[in-house]
């Protein structure tokens, strides 16, 4: 009787997601293995030999990797600082981190068009102080996509890491220092391993987010395709649903693989995390 | 230690300049009097704010976005509140699987979600674009509704519910008169967070446009492709004001801990 109530409460939502999300995704994945009615891997073989597609895939992976790396380098010290300051400053800095996260990605990517465009703020500034002689071509390159993605995901890794760093036992750090560990030693042997879970979750969020992002590469990438804009182009402009389905499946598989592998790495480094 | 903190403080300051500087610049450019976006501005005017209300596409797509987000929000609440309640209140077989299913719209790439939904639901069943947007946005709002309400229920003392039972209240009556009023602030926060997610969504909406129908962010993208005037900057400022307003309400209702939890 009790069990029936529980499942009755869950049924509408679960059914809704199954019909409108799970089944379409399974049908899409299934469709990639059929070519004109017969079972084959031909679609995948074709795309993994296609230089253009491999180029897009590698660019996307590289962009996502660099973005993740920069986000960790910038985000970790900031999160560490925020977790240590007084309550009032902490609340303010948290609000300032959350605000961009809730702001439309169109707005955030577009703001970079004003800055890194050929006649943009950055070029004007660098030209006026004589650091460069020709305007830099950043907009519509992979670098522009990376800048936009770092801007998009940095708040996410900051607030994820704050959650972990805040819970770190202050006594542990004091103990390590009083036992003679150098500041660098404390960081490498205590702070870093203890923040591993947050670092891994944050990295997964940033990497997967960058790998699948659409708005930022669409606005800042110009002709430079990434995997999501390639999928969109095939699904709509080119009307090639078979290709789009293959790209979608590859995106799902890579997203899943990255998540699983990263979790394994985190477990190896810190089994208790 | 002080020395090191100062270095960190400067570093943190610079990172926040990077995060907020572009938003500040875009806000300043919205007051440009000329017809080309530039920073710093040359003349000051409000004319691009007025222009938002003159461009018909913006008005209709804004209305579409509001309607889709509100209607989707309502359906997400109807589906999500019972699910969040069951997931927080009971232990049962298959709980972790169902949990994963309800969170999955966040984990699956949005562009994949949009494409598969377009191909196997909208096109296959010839759904009107409005209906497609409504269902699609409900999908992406559901995990946020469930997450916020679950976190609100996690602090609810279920023994109150049992007390109401033993005093003779019916199960459904207890839910509406005891449980719901207690998680009221959680529900409002859920509505606001889900609304922002839906209103800002691009990945799903980009697949569902038609003659005269598209959502507000998609209309912005289309506009940017052709024009580089300060209208988008003016719109950005208005969106940021709405966002800040929503954020402060959520902060009042739930505190900031909701955002730092993963």
In which element (H, E) is residue A38 found? strand A38-39
Other CB atoms within a 10 A radius of the CB of residue A49 amount to 9
Question: From residue A47, how far is each of A52, A63, A244 by CA, in Å?
Answer: 9, 20, 11
How many domains in chain A?
1
Residue A35: its H or E element: strand A34-35
Instruction: Examine residue A102 and state whether it is found in any structural domain, yes or no.
Output: yes
How distant is the Cα of B240 from the closest Cα of chain A, in angstroms?
A: 6
Alpha-helical (H) ranges within chain A are 2-17, 23-31, 42-47, 51-84, 87-102, 105-116, 121-128, 142-166, 170-178, 183-186, 192-212, 215-220, 227-235, 241-269
Q: Which pLDDT belongs to residue A181?
A: 80
Among B8, B101, B259, the strongest candidate for a mutation testing the A interface, having the largest count of A CBs within 10 A, is B259
Residue A12 lies in a domain: no
| CATH number for position A109 | 1.10.3720.10
Instruction: Give CA–CA dist B138/B194, Å, rounded.
Output: 9
Contact B115 A104 (CB under 8 A): no
Does residue A103 form part of some domain? yes
Top-confidence residue, A207 or B41:
A207
Residue A6 domain-assigned? Answer: no
Distance from CA of B80 to the nearest CA of A (A): 6
A21 located within any domain: no
| Distance separating alpha carbons of residues A164 and A168, to the nearest angstrom | 7
SS3 for A131?
Answer: coil
A245 located within any domain: yes
Q: Which helix (H) or strand (E) holds A170?
A: helix A170-178
Q: Residue B4: what pLDDT?
A: 59
| Out of B15, B138, B247, closest to residue A78 by CB | B15
C-alpha A49/C-alpha A252 separation (Å) is 20
The maximal CA–CA distance of chain B, rounded, in angstroms, is: 72
Which chain B residues are within 8 Å of A14, Cβ to Cβ? 83, 98, 101-102
Going by pLDDT thresholds of 50, 70 and 90, the confidence category of residue B15 is very high
The DSSP call for residue B44 is B
For residue B37, pLDDT beyond 50: yes
A39 φ, ψ (degrees, to nearest 5): -70, 130
- Residues B95, A7: contact at Cβ < 8 Å? no
User: How far is B49 from chain A, CA to nearest CA, in Å?
Assistant: 15
Interface test with A, best of B24, B75, B77, B112 (most A CBs within 10 A): B112
- Is B79 close to A163, i.e. CB distance below 8 A? no
Quote the ipTM score: 0.91
The three-class DSSP label of residue B12 is: helix
A94–B256 C-beta distance less than 8 A: yes
CB contact under 8 A, A93 and B98: no
- Alpha carbons A81 and A172: distance in angstroms, whole number: 17
Residue A137, in any domain of the structure: yes
Cβ-contact A258, A204 below 8 angstroms: yes
Q: Which residues constitute the domain of residue A239?
A: 43-269
Nearest to A102 among B8, B146, B196 (CB): B196
Residue A186 lies in a domain: yes
Q: Are A56 and A227 in contact (CB under 8 A)?
A: yes
Task: Check if the beta carbon of residue A140 is closer than 8 Å to that of residue A224.
Answer: yes
Kindly indicate the confidence band of residue B234, based on its pLDDT and cuts at 50, 70 and 90: very high
Interface test with A, best of B1, B10, B115 (most A CBs within 10 A): B115
Nearest-CB residue to A21 (from B86, B105, B260) = B105
Output the DSSP codes for A226-247: -HHHHHHHHHTTS--HHHHHHH
Contact A91 B256 (CB under 8 A): yes
The residue-averaged pLDDT of B152-177 equals 87
Taking contacts as CB-CB distances below 8 angstroms, the residues of chain A near B220 are 104, 106, 110
Q: How confident is the model at residue B9 (pLDDT cuts 50, 70, 90)?
A: very high
**Interface contact flag, A107 B240, Cβ < 8 Å:** yes
What is the pLDDT at residue A35?
Answer: 75
The residues of chain A scoring below 50 in pLDDT are none
Q: Read off the pTM.
A: 0.92
Inter-chain touch A104–B200, beta carbons under 8 Å:
yes
What tokens were used for A199? 């670092």
Cβ–Cβ under 8 Å, residues A158 and A97 = yes
Tokens of A152: 């998009």
Q: Which is nearest to B105 in space by CA: A6, A212, A21, A191?
A: A21
Supply the mean pLDDT for chain B.
90
The pLDDT of residue A12 is 96
Torsional class of A120: left (φ above 0), alpha (ψ -120 to 50), beta (otherwise):
beta
User: Measured between alpha carbons, how far is B67 from B181 in angstroms, rounded to an integer?
Assistant: 26
Per residue in B196-213, pLDDT (tens digit) is 999 999 999 999 998 888
Q: What was the pLDDT predicted at B147?
A: 92
């Amino acid at each position: 009787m009790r069990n029936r109530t529980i499942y009755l409460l869950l049924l509408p939502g679960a059914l809704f997601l199954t019909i409108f999300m799970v089944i379409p995704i399974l049908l899409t994945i299934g469709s990639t293995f059929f070519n004109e009615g017969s079972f084959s891997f031909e679609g995948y073989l074709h795309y993994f030999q296609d230089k253009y597609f491999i180029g897009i895939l590698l660019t996307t992976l590289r962009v996502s990797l660099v973005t993740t790396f920069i986000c960790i380098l910038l985000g970790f010290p900031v999160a560490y600082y925020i977790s240590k300051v007084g309550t009032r400053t902490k609340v303010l800095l948290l609000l300032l981190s959350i605000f961009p996260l809730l702001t439309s990605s169109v707005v955030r990517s577009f703001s970079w068009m004003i800055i890194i465009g050929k006649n943009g703020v950055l070029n004007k500034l660098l030209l006026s102080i004589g650091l460069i002689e020709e305007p830099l071509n950043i907009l519509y390159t992979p670098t522009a996509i990376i800048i936009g993605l770092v801007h998009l995901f940095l708040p996410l890794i900051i607030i994820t890491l704050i959650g972990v760093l805040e819970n770190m036992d202050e006594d542990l750090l004091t103990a390590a220092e009083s036992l003679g560990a150098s500041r660098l030693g404390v960081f490498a042997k205590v702070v870093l391993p203890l923040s591993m879970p947050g670092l891994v979750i944050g990295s997964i969020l940033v990497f997967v987010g960058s790998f699948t992002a659409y708005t930022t590469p669409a606005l800042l990438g110009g002709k430079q395709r990434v995997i999501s804009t390639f999928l969109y182009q095939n699904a709509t402009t080119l009307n090639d649903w078979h290709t789009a389905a293959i790209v979608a499946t590859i995106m799902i598989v890579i997203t899943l693989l990255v998540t699983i592998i990263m979790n394994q790495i985190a477990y190896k480094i810190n089994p208790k995390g | 230690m002080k020395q090191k903190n100062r270095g960190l403080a400067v570093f943190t300051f610079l990172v926040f300049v990077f995060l907020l500087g572009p938003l500040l610049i875009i806000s300043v450019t919205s007051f440009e009097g000329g017809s080309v976006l530039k920073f710093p501005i040359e003349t000051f005017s409000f004319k691009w704010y007025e222009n938002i209300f003159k461009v018909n596409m913006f008005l209709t797509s804004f209305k579409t976005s509001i309607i889709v987000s509100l209607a989707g929000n309502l359906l997400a609440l109807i589906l999500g509140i019972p699910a969040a309640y069951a997931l927080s209140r009971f232990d049962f077989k298959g709980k972790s699987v169902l949990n994963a299913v309800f969170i999955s719209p966040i984990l699956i790439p949005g562009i994949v979600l949009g494409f598969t939904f377009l191909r196997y639901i909208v096109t296959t069943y010839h759904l009107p674009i409005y209906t497609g947007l409504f269902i699609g946005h409900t999908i992406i709002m559901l995990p946020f509704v469930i997450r916020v309400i679950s976190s609100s229920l996690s602090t609810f003392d279920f023994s109150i519910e049992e007390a109401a039972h033993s005093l003779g209240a019916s199960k459904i009556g207890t839910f509406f008169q005891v449980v719901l009023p207690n998680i009221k602030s959680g529900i409002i926060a859920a509505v606001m967070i889900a609304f922002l997610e839906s209103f800002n969504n691009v990945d799903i909406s980009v697949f569902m446009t038609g003659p005269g129908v598209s959502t507000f962010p998609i209309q912005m993208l289309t506009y940017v492709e052709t024009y580089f005037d300060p209208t988008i900057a003016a719109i950005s400022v208005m969106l940021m004001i709405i966002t800040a307003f929503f954020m402060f309400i959520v902060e009042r209702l739930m505190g900031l801990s909701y955002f730092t939890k993963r």
